[in-house]
Amino acid sequence: MTVYHASKAEQMPVSQANDARCLATTVSKLADQRRKIAISVFVWLAMVSVSISLAFGEETFERQASWQRHDVDEMARMLRTSLDAIGILPGEIDLASEQFIGAIEKQDMDPLDALITSLRPILPAVENLVITTQSSLVKAGASVDPSSSTYGEIESLPKSLRMSVRTWLGRELVRARLYDEALPVIAEVDPAESIDPASALFFRGVCYHTLLMKKEALADLRRLLENEADSPIRFVRTAKMMVADIQPLKDDSLDEISRLMTDVSRRLDLGRANEEVEKREQQIIDKLTKIIDKIEKDQQQQQQQQQQSADGKNSQGDQQGSPMNESRIAGAAGNGDVDLKKMKDGNGWGNLPPAERQQAIQQISRDLPTHYREAIEAYFRKMATEGS
C-alpha cells in the first residue's frame, strides 16, 4: 500500500484555517464582552435617568403641593369631619353641610362666608364672634388673643375650623384697614388647614406688606403665586403688584419714610393717637434727621474739597511771587480776628427758617416722585407748627 505524505505547501492552508478559527473565536469573545459592557452602561444610564426623573418629579410635586384649592365637596368633607369631632349630632351635620354647599353653588357665596353662615346655628362660639364683629371689629380681633377670656372658645375648635374662622376674621379686619389687629389673628393660620388657603396667604401678605414687614410679605405672596391657577385673578394681580412694590424697599430710604407717613395717616384716620403712632412718628423724625445729616456731611466734604483745590491753586501762584512778611492768608487785609457767633442750644431742625427749610426739602426729595415730596413737606409743616 502506497502512503502519500502531504507536502509543506499542502499543509499551509490547514494552519491558516486554524488561525482563522482562533481569530474568529477571539473576535466573538470580544464582541460578547462589548455587548455586556454596553448593556451594563445602558442599564446604569437608565437607572440614573429614572432617579433624576423621580427626584425632579418629587421636587415638582412638593412645589405644587405647597397648597391646593379645595373644591366644594372637599370643603364639605372638612366641615363634616370637624363637626363630628366635637360631637355634633348627625342630623345637624347633614343640615350644616347641605346649607354650606347650597350657599356656594346656588347663591354663589364666598366659601368663608358660607362656612360662617352654616356654623352660626350650631356653634355658639362662632355666633358670639359674629355678633362681636358686627358691633366692634377691634373687640372681635381682641377676642381671639391669648390674654382674652374668650380665647378658648375658638381655640377649642378642631384645627380646620379654627384656621378657617381665623382666616375669615382676619379678612374682615384687613378689609377695615385694621392691619395691626388682623395680623395676630391670621399670623398663625396654616393655609393648608383652612378651607380657603388663597385667602389666608393673600390677606396675611397684605398685612405684612402694609406694616413694612418685607421678608414675611414676600414669603406669603410668593407662596400664593406658586399656584396661580387655583387663586382668584384679583389675588394674583394684586399679589404681583405688591411683590414688585415692596421688593426694592430699603431701610432708612425716603421710600420707607413715605410709607411710614402713609401708615401714620391711616392710624390717625382710624382715630388712633396711641404710643404706636408716636413711635412711628419718632421713627420718621429720626430717619429724616439721619438723611439731612448725611446731606449736610456730603456738602461739607464737597466744600472742603473745593477749598483744598482752591488753596492748591493759590499756593502755586504764591510760589511764583514774593513771600509774605507775616504768616497769614494771602490777600487778607485784617489780622484774622472774627466775632464769635452765639450758638443756640437744642434741636431746632424742625423750626428752620422758610428759605432753609425749602432748600432742605428740595435736597431730600430732588429725585423722588411728587407724592414723596408732598409727604415730606407736610411733615416739615407739622413739625414747625408743633414747635411754635
Q: What is the pLDDT along the chain (388 residues), one digit of tens a residue?
A: 444 444 444 444 555 555 556 555 655 665 566 666 656 655 555 554 545 454 544 444 345 648 999 999 999 999 999 999 999 999 999 999 999 999 999 999 999 999 999 999 999 999 999 999 999 999 999 999 999 988 999 999 999 999 999 999 999 999 999 999 999 999 999 999 999 999 999 999 999 999 999 999 999 999 999 999 999 999 999 999 999 999 999 998 999 999 999 999 999 998 888 888 999 999 999 999 999 988 988 888 888 888 887 776 666 665 555 555 555 555 555 555 545 455 444 444 445 566 666 666 666 655 555 555 666 666 666 666 655 5
pLDDT value for 136: 96
pLDDT value for 86: 95
Task: Report which of 78, 153, 152, 175 is spatially closest to residue 118, judged by C-alpha positions.
Answer: 78
pLDDT value for 7: 47
pLDDT value for 304: 85
pLDDT value for 128: 96
- The total of other beta-carbon atoms located within 10 Å of residue 273's CB is 10
Compute the half-sphere exposure of residue 348: CA atoms within 13 Å on the CB side of its CA: 10
pTM across the whole model: 0.65
